[in-house]
Amino acid sequence: MKFFYTLILFIIISVAAFSQLVVVGTGFNNYAGTSATAPTGWYMSWHSTASTYTASTSVGIASPSYKFGLDTVFVISPQFAQADTVTFWCKGFSISGGSRLNIYSSNDSVNWTMFVSNTSLPSSGAILKYAIPYGAKWVMFVYRKVSGNLAFDDVTILSYTTIDVNENLTAFAPTIFPTISENGIFTIHNSQFAVEGVEVYNAVGEKGKRFSGEIKWLNLSDLPAGIYYIKLTTEAGTVTKKIVIAK
């Protein structure tokens, strides 16, 4: 039953502004506080009869959730490829004194780089969403406890895919070259329809830059390294392309 509800969540996420592919996900189905019942491919550093929450007010979609109940307890995802976003449900219980959830990424499972340190963990259940650094193959969540515990559930690692493709553009869609740039300069190639507008989104779907007029190239050199989505508008419709700025 929990798998069914988790699947519904994935479907809801997938019909957001950007279409998404679920690369890795878990709702901690059937986890019973032991390593043998841990989700396949996931590593949790603490297993105990006390390492889960089961009450309906302490879980995401359905019971159970994982409990960050000790300092430096951590959870590591399975290896993945070409993901750019992580979402998860969490809820803090009596958290204070600087307790925080740190999130790290790694491309070799040995060397880790922190890309999130959240000291404002929600006291009511909430879904949090972060961009994953380009090239990451693993994500690790580490709870640094000063006071209070954290319920953790419904982890989803995603890859955005092309959106808003008008059928009139299928054979004549404009393209962007290169798809990976170290200097942030990109050229737009028009096959039949001129590009009249461009919108730039970051990896979590937040709109940044916007350009209008007939556009043949983009200068995004002032943006930080990362994955971006470029929405191209023509008289025949729109198409969105994925690019990477790799400084």
The domain segmentation of the chain, as residue ranges, is 2-160, 167-245
Continuous H helices in the chain: 2-14
CATH superfamily of 167-245: Macroglobulin (MG2) domain (2.60.40.1930)
Q: Number of helices (H) and strands (E) in the chain: give both, helices first.
A: 1, 19
* Residue 227, both tokens: 């994955």
**pLDDT band at residue 13, thresholds of 50, 70 and 90?**
very low
- Give the rounded percent of residues in the chain with a pLDDT score beyond 70: 86
Q: How far apart are the first and last CA of the chain?
A: 45
**pLDDT band at residue 118, thresholds of 50, 70 and 90?**
very high
Chain segment 171-230, per-residue pLDDT in tens:
567 889 998 999 999 999 876 778 889 999 887 677 789 999 888 999 999 998 888 888
Radius of gyration of the chain (CA): 20
Global pTM?
0.68
Is the CATH number of domain 2-160 2.60.120.200?
yes
- CA 203, CA 127: separation in Å to the nearest integer? 17
Residue 18 and residue 242 in contact, taking contact as beta carbons nearer than 8 Å:
no
User: Would you mind telling me the total number of residues written for the chain in this entry?
Assistant: 247
